[in-house]
Amino acid sequence: MTLVGAQPEFYPTPQAAPEAPPETVPTHVGIIMDGNGRWANRRGLPRLAGHHAGTENVRRITIACADAGVEVLTIYAFSTENWRRPADEVFGLMRLLAQRIDKEAAELHRNNVRIRHIGELEGIQPRLAERVRAAVALTRDNTGLVLNVAFNYGGRHEIARAVQRIMQAGVSADNLTEELIDQYLDTAGLPDLDLVIRTGGEMRLSNFLLWQAAYAEYYSTPICWPDFGREELYQAFAEFGRRVRRFGGLS
Ligand code: IPE
Ligand code: IPE
Ligand code: MG
C-alpha cells in the first residue's frame, strides 16, 4: 500500500527505518489499544492528551498492517464498560472522535481501506453516530484492508444482540449452529481472529471479541498504545509466526 498523505512526523528518525514485515502474517489482527492514560500521566499530561496521541497512532498502525498483508484489523476504541469512567473523560473521548473521524476516514479512503464498525451506535450522540455511518459508507467499496472499529463494543453485548436477532428471526433450537451465530454477530463475513495484541501490559481480554478469539494467539506488550509503532507490530507478527497453533489437535 502506498503511503498516500502520510504525515512526516510519524517517522521522525529516518535512520530508524521500519523492519520488513515477517513472512508469517496473521490474516485477522485485533488490537486492544490500552495505556493512553498512563502514557499521558508519565509525561505530566492530562489523560485526554494520551487519547489524542492514541488516535494519531491508529492510521500509522493501520497502514503498517496493510503493508504487511493483514486482511482485517479490529481495533478496540471504546468498550461498553468504558461508560463507567468520569463523565469528562467520556465526553472528551467522544468529542475527540467527532473531531477526527471525517479527516481520518478520508485519509484511510485514499489508502483503499474499508472501514467497518462493530458495537452499538444506539445511545451514541446522533451527530457522531452519523459520522461513523458516513465513514463506513464512504469506504464501502474499497478493496484493501478492512479496518473494523470496535466502538461502544462489548463481546457479551454483541453475543446477546446476536441471540436476540436469531430469536426474532424465528430460528428453531434444532437449527441453531455455531455457523449461524457467526452470521448474526457484528463481525459476520469476517474471518476468526488470529492474533490479539494488547498494549499497556495488562493480560486480559476486557470483553473484546470473546467469540471470535476462541483460538487467537495472545500477545501482550508493556508499551503504551501511543508509542506502539511499526517495529513493535512486526515483532508481534514475528512472535505469532513462532507459535504452534494446534486448534485442539496434535501437531
Ligand atoms: C485505552 O487507554 C483507551 C480507552 C480505553 C478508551 P486507557 O484510557 O485505558 O489508558 P490506561 O489503561 O488508563 O493507561
Ligand atoms: C480496554 O481497555 C478497552 C479499550 C482499549 C477500548 P480498558 O482500559 O477499558 O480495560 P480494563 O478496564 O483495564 O480491563
Ligand atoms: Mg486501560
Parse the chain into domains and list their residue ranges: 23-153+194-238
pLDDT of residue 201: 98
Strand-by-strand arrangement of the 217-220 sheet? 114-118, 146-153, 72-79, 28-32, 195-198, 217-220
pLDDT of residue 5: 43
CB of 21 within 6 A of ligand 1: the answer is no
Among candidate residues 173, 140, 158, the one with its CA nearest the CA of residue 209 = 158
Q: What whole-number distance in Å separates Cα of residue 87 and Cα of residue 127?
A: 19
pLDDT exceeds 80 at position 213: yes
pLDDT exceeds 70 at position 197: yes
Strand ranges (E), the chain: 28-32, 72-79, 114-118, 146-153, 195-198, 217-220
CB of 154 within 6 A of ligand 1: the answer is no
- For ligand 1, the distance from its centroid to the CA atom of residue 245, given in whole angstroms, is 30
pLDDT of residue 24: 87
Ligand with an atom nearest the CA of residue 97: 1
pLDDT of residue 21: 75
Q: Which strand (E) or helix (H) includes residue 251?
A: none
pLDDT of residue 61: 98
pLDDT of residue 162: 98
Cα within 13 Å of Cα(223), Cβ side:
17
Helix (H, G, I), strand (E, B) or coil at 79: strand
What's the mean pLDDT in 141-163?
Answer: 98
Helix (H, G, I), strand (E, B) or coil at 217: strand
Sequence-distant (≥ 6) Cβ neighbours of residue 211 within 8 angstroms: 155, 158, 159, 181, 182, 185
pLDDT of residue 7: 43
Question: Whose grid coordinates read 476462541?
Answer: 214
Question: Could you confirm whether 82 is annotated as catalytic?
Answer: yes
Alpha helices in 111-154 (DSSP H): 126-138
Mean pLDDT, the chain, integer: 93
Question: Whose grid coordinates read 498483508?
Answer: 69
pLDDT of residue 19: 65
What's the mean pLDDT in 158-180?
Answer: 98
Q: What whole-number distance in Å separates Cα of residue 7 and Cα of residue 53?
A: 14
- Closest atom of ligand 1 relative to the 77 alpha carbon: 6
pLDDT exceeds 60 at position 112: yes
CB 79 within 8 A of CB 207: yes
What's the mean pLDDT in 55-77?
Answer: 98
pLDDT of residue 2: 44
Helix (H, G, I), strand (E, B) or coil at 246: coil
- For ligand 3, the distance from its centroid to the CA atom of residue 151, given in whole angstroms, is 15
Q: What whole-number distance in Å separates Cα of residue 181 and Cα of residue 98?
A: 32
pLDDT of residue 18: 56
pLDDT in tens, 1-54: 444 444 444 444 444 445 677 788 999 999 999 999 999 999 999 999 999 999
Q: What whole-number distance in Å separates Cα of residue 155 and Cα of residue 144?
A: 26
pLDDT exceeds 80 at position 233: yes
What's the mean pLDDT in 173-194?
Answer: 98
In this structure, the residue with its CA closest to atom 14 of ligand 2 is 206
pLDDT exceeds 90 at position 168: yes
Q: Say which CATH topology domain 23-153+194-238 has.
A: Undecaprenyl pyrophosphate synthetase (3.40.1180)
In this structure, the residue with its CA closest to atom 3 of ligand 2 is 79
Question: Could you confirm whether 34 is annotated as catalytic?
Answer: yes
CB of 150 within 6 A of ligand 2: the answer is no
Q: What whole-number distance in Å separates Cα of residue 167 and Cα of residue 157?
A: 15
